[in-house]
């Protein structure tokens, strides 16, 4: 749709952005409330230690190919039943709720842990930014797509190494964050 019918693709992307923005705002609110409550209960070093441990644990999970997620995807049947704008809206909302779909890596969970523990006032803005970046990446990919790429799925051989690399990066980030709380 994005490469073959530009007006339909544009409506889909607009819906994707709008649905994602709504879901990001909705998810940002509990992240803000939980983080604000946590900040009232625990000083910054304790929150840094907690964030570091959570991020490191997510890194280990990725390295072990055990990224936490729900075994569910946005229903493919919607592609055949909804017009492009509404499809984008529903799909964007579902994807941006984060907890309702499969995950390739734990980056999103690590970002949420960091936001809740360290910067709850930025939660909605960061989630909105992630949604906008995702939609921009989809638009860029569609604009640069060619038919020869459709015959070869290049993502599969890179999937496990990508997850393990992400896991290693999260493990390092988690350890650095942890030590920031331990060593003032």
User: Span 21-41, mean pLDDT?
Assistant: 95
- The answer to whether residue 119 sits within a structural domain is yes
In this structure, the number of other CB atoms found within 10 A of the CB of residue 141 comes to 12
Closest CA to 110 of 157, 67, 161, 164: 67
Domain boundaries, position 160: 6-182
The closest alpha carbon to 83, from 165, 7, 28, 169, belongs to 7
Q: Looking at the domain assignment, is residue 142 inside a domain?
A: yes
pLDDT at 149 over 60: no
- Tell me, yes or no, whether 114 lies in a domain: yes
pLDDT of residue 116: 96
On whether residue 1 sits in a domain, the answer given is no
Residue 95 CA to residue 85 CA, distance in Å, equals 15
> Is the model more confident about 94 or about 156?
94
Share of the chain above pLDDT 70, in %: 91
Residues 63-78 have pLDDT tens digits of: 998 888 777 676 777 7
For the residues 116-144, what does the mean pLDDT come to?
91
CA 86 to chain centre: 21
Which DSSP letter does residue 121 get? G
Residue 43: which pLDDT band, with cuts at 50, 70 and 90? very high
Alpha-carbon span 121 to 28, nearest angstrom: 9
State how far the Cα of 127 lies from the Cα of 138, in Å rounded to an integer.
Answer: 17
Residue 61 lies in a domain: yes
CA distance 71 to 61: 16
For residue 27, is it within any domain? yes
Does 94 fall in a domain?
yes
Q: Do 70 and 100 contact (CB within 8 A), yes or no? A: yes
Average pLDDT for 10-38? 94
Structurally, how many domains does the chain consist of?
A: 1
Q: Which of 36-45, 105-114, 129-138 has the highest mean pLDDT?
A: 36-45
Q: Mean pLDDT of all residues in the chain?
A: 87
3-state helix, strand, coil in the chain (%, to 5): 75, 0, 25
């Amino acid at each position: 749709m994005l490469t073959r019918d530009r007006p339909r693709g544009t409506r889909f992307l607009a819906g994707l952005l709008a649905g994602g923005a709504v879901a990001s705002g909705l998810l940002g609110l509990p992240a803000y409330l939980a983080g604000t409550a946590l900040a009232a209960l625990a000083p910054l070093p304790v929150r840094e230690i907690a964030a570091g441990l959570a991020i490191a644990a997510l890194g280990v999970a990725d390295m072990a190919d055990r990224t936490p997620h729900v075994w569910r995807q946005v229903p493919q049947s919607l592609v055949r039943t909804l017009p492009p704008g509404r499809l984008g809206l529903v799909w964007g909302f579902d994807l941006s709720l984060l907890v309702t779909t499969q995950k390739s890596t734990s980056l999103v969970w690590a970002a949420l842990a960091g936001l809740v523990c360290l910067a709850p006032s930025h939660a909605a803005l960061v989630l909105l930014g992630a949604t906008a970046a995702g939609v921009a990446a989809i638009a860029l990919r569609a604009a640069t797509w060619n038919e020869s790429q459709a015959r070869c799925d290049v993502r599969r051989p890179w999937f496990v190494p990508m997850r393990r690399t992400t896991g290693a990066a999260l493990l390092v980030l988690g350890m650095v964050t942890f030590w920031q709380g331990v060593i003032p």
